[in-house]
Amino acid sequence: MKMRRRTFLRYVGATALGVTTLGCLGKQAATEKVKEGVVDETGKITVYSGRGENLIRPVIERFSESTGINVEVRYGKTAELAATILEEGKNSPADLFFAQDAGALGALSKENRLLKLSSSILDKVEARFRSPKGEWIGITGRARTVDYNVKLVDKRELPESIWGFTDPKWKGGKIGWAPTNGSFQAFITAFRVLEGEEKTREWLQGIIANDPQEYPKNSPIVAALGRGEIYVGFVNNYYLHRFKAEDPDFPVAHHYTRGDAGSMINVAGLGIVDTTKNQNLAENFIDYMLSEDAQRYFATKTYEYPLLEGISVIGPQKPLSEIITPNIDLSDLDDLKGTLKLLQDVGAL
Amino acid sequence: MYPEPNPTAKNGVSNPNRLPLFLLFSALVVAIGMMLPLTYLILRSASLGDEAWNLLIHPRTIQVFVNSAFLALAVTVISAIIAVPIAFLTVRTDLPGRRYWSIATALPLVIPSYVGSFAIIAALGPKGSILQNWLAPFGVDRLPSIYGWTGAVLSLVLFTYPYIVLSVRASLHSLDPALEEASHSLGYNRRETFLRVTLPHLKPSIIAGSLLVALYTLSDFGTPSLMRFDSFTRAIYIQYQSSFDRSMAAILALLLVLFAILILLLEYKARGKAKYYSSSTGSQRPPRDIELGRWRWPALLFCSAVVGLALIMPLGVISYWLLQGISMGEQLMFVWQLALNSVYVSSLSAFAVIAAAIPVCILAVRFPHTLSHLLERSTYIGFALPGIVVALSLVFFGAKYATVLYQSTAMLIFAYVVLFIPQAVGTIRASLLQISPRLEEAARSMGYNLPKTLLKVTIPLARPGLLTGAALVFLTTMKELPATLLLAPTGFNTLATSIWSSTNDAFFARAAAPSLILVAVSSLSMIAIISLERRKDEKVKK
């Protein structure tokens, strides 16, 4: 009996030792964490970014170099990071949230997790590209386009209006789309605002009648266009250049529709999380992303639209003035829910 | 047969009605940890009302649920049909190049689904794929669509059948040849012996592997998404991605858990109470290899086909991307730090999982009791859930109640344990079942107490199961994505997160080098394990 108890205690002791060791591992990583209630003056901010590392690391490094502020970035999927910030609650280590789409910012705003930005920052960008409540701000925009395979489709066949794609000549799996993708859903939301619920439903049903092929998101659509698997695809503008960079003979080109939701702008933006202890540094970050230097980077390196008002550099894109963006709050989740319901009703989702 | 010395002792080690405290305690700690995701889901769903009910009974929800259920069934059955012959061929026959086939047929498991599915589409897609381009000169303009059921089943089978192979192999290595020899001496030929003696003995390992395949299929999102299969995980994903509604996602995930519990119940019933160890002492010798003769050609063809599709093809596509990238002047990423990070956490993960699984398994096998069985079953919950659900549950508990540990390596390893412990539980359990309790009884009779017996007799004998479990956990952790993205220390990147990051932004060539390194490193662990198996055989042969 005594032997057994000793062995049991030995076992417990070993477990405790193990747990403590692991805990120390954890502590080591955590020593950089700031004590509660103290403003951190050490010049470090944490960004949760749904924007890809390959695209924005250079510009973040430029920020660090020019300001001396250390930036730690957690890269991930926008929606998952939003859910993480919400689950972390008041213990969230995040100072900033860099979202790939406005909907995610809206999700945080709805639960009052974003701080109101100062007006000097908000004024840098047109009202249609920022939160009506001033809680997030668009940094760059991506235009919706209809990309097409140049070998399979003659440029002249392409309709001027997005409605043209409901024509039966696009039947039989020629169209590629991504109903689960955030940018597509934002496009449908814009459609509903511009043309009304009934018209949007009609358009969706028209496309579905043409038997479109479904993809999980934008880049598989562009890849499929390259393979000739589909003829046209509803995507964002900036993926094509990535494919062309890896293969200059990639047989796909942009087509923009005129004056309708088909060529709207989606916004990638920043918001300051309410648990930040570095509000000033966070605002510096946003400030930098809206500076000419950074906006020029986005325009020429990532092929996105700079949103800084009055900037002259636009890179190799269609001018912003030719792009319609309806005056709606793209981060309005209730609006997004309406879009989802519509998509589910017509059977697209 | 002489009478049992102690009529109440069922399994020889101890009275099953008295569960040893230290084992029970350890297993309980493990089980409580594994129940965290379930607790999170219940908490999240509790706030919902009618809306949740409407979602659950919506025809679309039911339809995708049925889809996923049938997908799991199809993938499991087909995987088993492929895996059992392969395991048998590579362990028990004189298949030419057996050592290389052993490794090659188990390797597809190292390929992450988000890479493998991409590769399959690039190779076999209806238009513009490698296969279609090869056949174009023969007038083939368009291949039949790989999307939907075909692609989903193909991709899942190809990259998960090794679960069953590894599990069955470990069992075959521990099989006492005396059983088959006795069968032969009683007049059964080889085929009948296989069907009547060997196969039934392999039942626990086949089922253990199949369980993993089934639960993995239920929880995977990447493959159905790329293959355009309308799966249940897609419905969960839409809630997170489009509605930003964690509560609705939670209730759907709970449905998934219920289904997983159903599957676990079925598996439990299928196990039965058969004994898998032999009563005679026998001598520790490896069985004689079965000579294939002219059957070796179909066997080789079969193995080549499987390895060709599951391993050569994806690696070929990735290499093609790499070469294309190099020719375009794409700089190869500096992957050493990433590789080191991956190996570091994967090793810790394997160690932690084995440590956690051992008490649970010993309890379940040697001390059969409702409680011990329940504890063992509960470890499977994490594996059946999509990674994002487990990750968010740990974010929830970690950030709120374990702030110091939050986003530390320790918490990340804990997440891996929650996710992958069933892989070790299954293989260790199968190994333990094949150890005769008489050996442990002998040790007890010579004065060893229970913990010493377990340490010096049981665990060493369960080595095949331990090693296989460790290898599985290592290579599954190497390719893990959602939990790593959310729970690793900020700035800590692995090969897997780097691959995802590159493919997400369409930098395919940049994803190729890390992919190949990932496959290479994971393969090393697989090769090491399989060599250890063989060395044990060789030692005994002498």
Measured between CA atoms, how close is A42 to chain B, in angstroms?
17
Nearest C-alpha neighbor of B367 from the set B17, B42, B43: B17
Provide the CA B234 distance to its chain's centre, in angstroms. Answer: 22
Q: Which residue has 């025809």 as its token pair? A: B59
A142 confidence band (pLDDT: 50, 70, 90): confident
Amino acid at the residue A27: K
Quickly tell me which residue has 């002489």 as its tokens.
B2
Per-residue pLDDT band for B537 (boundaries 50, 70, 90) equals low
Neighbours of A57 (CB within 10 A): 16
Q: pLDDT value at position B17?
A: 56
Domain boundaries, chain B: 41-272, 335-542
- Under an 8 A CB cutoff, do A72 and B399 touch? no
Q: Which residues of B touch A93 (CB under 8 A)?
A: 406-407, 490
Strand partners, B510: none
The segment with the largest mean pLDDT, out of A105-109, B53-57, B73-77, B227-231, is B73-77
Mean pLDDT, chain B, whole residue set: 85
Q: How far is CA B273 from CA A251, B276, B367, B433, in A?
A: 63, 9, 13, 11
Judge contact between A194 and A156, C-beta under 8 A. Answer: no
| pLDDT band at residue A30 using 50, 70 and 90 as cut-offs | very low
| Res. B9 pLDDT band, cuts 50 70 90 | very low
| Interface contact flag, B125 A229, Cβ < 8 Å | yes
**Chain B 45-64, CB below 8 Å of chain A: which residues?**
60
* Candidate ranges A74-78, A313-317, B535-539; pick with highest mean pLDDT: A74-78
Which residue in this structure is represented by tokens 């018209």? A199
The predicted structure's pLDDT at residue B421: 93
What's this model's pTM, rounded to 2 decimal places? 0.87
Higher pLDDT, B137 or A320: B137
The whole-number pLDDT of residue B110 equals 87
Q: Sign of the C-alpha dihedral, residues B307, B309, B311, B317?
A: positive
Mean pLDDT of the region B315-324:
88
In the block, tokens 């392969």 appear at B86
If pLDDT is split at 50, 70 and 90, which confidence band does B483 have? Answer: very high
- Measured in angstroms, the CA of B445 and the nearest CA of chain A are apart by 16
Alpha-carbon gap, residue B361 to B375, rounded angstroms: 9
Answer yes or no: do B504 and A52 touch at CB < 8 A: yes
What is the per-residue pLDDT for B29? Answer: 80
Q: Which pLDDT belongs to residue B270?
A: 78
Nearest-10 Cα torsion for B206, B210, B212, B213: 140
Which residue did the predictor score with more confidence, B199 or A121? A121
Q: Do domains B41-272 and B335-542 have the same CATH topology?
A: yes
Among B60, B126, B325, select the one facing A344 at the smallest CB separation: B60
- Total residues found in chain B within this entry: 542
Residue of A286, A268, A259 whose CA lies nearest to A330:
A268
> First and final CA of chain B: distance in angstroms?
32
Q: What is the mean pLDDT of residues A67-79?
A: 94
Average pLDDT over residues A173-183: 93
Map out the domains of chain A with their CATH numbers: 44-140+266-319 (3.40.190.10), 142-265+337-346 (3.40.190.10)
CB-CB: which of B21, B228, B325 is closest to A214?
Answer: B228
The residue that leads in pLDDT, B285 or A213, is A213
Q: List the beta bridge partners of residue A143.
A: A265
CATH level 3 topology of B41-272: MetI-like fold (1.10.3720)
B-contacting residues in A 128-157 (Cβ below 8 Å): none
Q: Which of B486, B492, B499 has the highest number of chain A CBs within 10 A, making it the mutation to test binding with A? A: B486
Identify which of B60, B147, B399 has the shortest CB distance to residue A92.
B399
The pLDDT of residue A5 is 56
Look at residue B234 and tell me whether its pLDDT is greater than 60.
yes
The closest alpha carbon to B271, from B380, B373, B142, belongs to: B373
Tens of pLDDT, residue by residue over B82-111, are 999 999 999 888 888 888 898 899 889 888
With a cut of 80, say whether residue A64 has pLDDT above it: yes
* Residue B73: pLDDT over 70: yes
Q: Find the largest Cα–Cα distance for chain A.
A: 91
Cα nearest neighbour of B117 on chain A? A220
Contact B389, B251 (CB under 8 A): no
Residue B278's pLDDT is 57
Kindly state the percentage of chain B with pLDDT values over 90.
Answer: 37
Question: Which of B410, B451, B507 is closest, CB to CB, to A25?
Answer: B410
pLDDT digits (tens, 9 = 90+) for B122-164: 899 888 888 888 888 888 888 888 999 999 999 999 999 999 9
What local confidence, expressed as pLDDT, does residue B139 receive? 84
Among B194-198, B353-357, B408-412, B517-521, which is the least confidently predicted range?
B194-198
Confirm or reject contact between A22 and chain B (CB < 8 A): yes
List the single best residue of B134, B233, B505, B510 to mutate versus A (max A Cβ within 10 A). Answer: B505
Cα–Cα distance for residue pair B15/A324, rounded to 1 Å = 77
Which has the closest alpha carbon to B437: B284, B275, B283? Answer: B275
* A54 in reach of chain B (CB within 8 A): yes
Residue B113 pLDDT exceeds 60: yes
Tokens matching residue B175: 């099989």
Lowest mean pLDDT among A16-30, A260-274, B11-25, B315-329: A16-30
Between the alpha carbon of residue A188 and those of residues A80, A195, A199, the distances in Å are 22, 10, 11
Contacts of A88 in chain B (CB under 8 A): 395, 399
Reported as a pLDDT band with limits 50, 70 and 90, residue A24 is very low
User: What CATH class is the domain B335-542?
Assistant: mainly alpha
Q: Is there a contact between A340 and B491 if contact means CB atoms under 8 Å apart?
A: no
For the cut 80, the answer to whether the pLDDT of residue A225 exceeds it is yes
- Contact B148/A at CB under 8 A: no
Q: Out of B449, B486, B503, name the one closest to residue A84 (CB).
A: B486
Is-contact B211 B426, C-beta < 8 A? yes
Question: Does B395 sit within 8 Å of A88, measured CB to CB?
Answer: yes
Mean pLDDT of A228-246: 89
**CB-CB under 8 Å, A229 with B128:** yes
**Interface touch B242/A86, C-beta < 8 Å:** no
Q: How many CB pairs under 8 A join A and B?
A: 171
HSE-CB for A38 with a 13 A CA cutoff: 7
